[in-house]
Amino acid sequence: MIHLTHGMVLAAGLGLRMRPLTETTAKPLLTLDGRSLLDRALDRLEAAEVPEAVVNAHWHAEKVAAAVAHRAAPRITLQREEELLETGGGVTRALPLLGPGPFVVLNGDSVVLDGPTPALARMAASFDPALMDGLLLVVRTAQVDGEVGRGDFHLDPLGRVRRPKELELAPYIFSGVQILAPGLFEGAPAGPFSLNRLYDRAIAKGRLYALVHDGIWFHLSTPADLDRAEASMHAGLVKALF
Q: Sketch the domain layout of the chain as residue ranges.
A: 6-241
CB atoms within 10 A of CB 105: 23
Q: How many CB atoms are closer than 10 A to CB 131?
A: 13
What fold characterizes domain 6-241?
A: Spore Coat Polysaccharide Biosynthesis Protein SpsA; Chain A (3.90.550)
Q: Per-10-residue mean pLDDT for the chain, 242 residues long?
A: 96 94 96 96 97 98 96 96 97 97 96 95 98 97 78 95 93 97 96 97 98 93 92 70 48
The pTM (predicted TM-score) of the whole model is 0.94
Residues 6+ apart with CB under 8 A from 186: none
In whole angstroms, what is the distance from residue 225 CA to residue 22 CA? 14
- Cα 233–chain centre separation: 21
Query: CB of 65 within 8 A of CB of 57?
Result: yes
What CA–CA distances, in Å, run from 95 to 51, 91, 92, 119, 180? 16, 6, 5, 23, 11
**Long-range contacts from 67-72, C-beta under 8 angstroms, 24+ separation:** 67/29, 67/36, 67/38, 67/39, 68/38, 68/42, 71/39, 71/42
CA 237 to chain centre: 23
Please give the pLDDT value at position 159: 97
96 φ, ψ (degrees, to nearest 5): -60, -15
Distance CA 178, CA 103 (A): 8
CA distances from 110 to 76, 83, 86, 154, 178 (A): 19, 22, 16, 21, 12
In whole angstroms, give the CA distance from residue 106 to residue 177. 5
Please give the pLDDT value at position 12. Answer: 97
The CA distances from residue 129 to 21, 47, 209, in Å, are 40, 23, 11
Helix axes 37-47, 61-68, angle to 10 degrees: 40
* Alpha-carbon gap, residue 120 to 149, rounded angstroms: 26
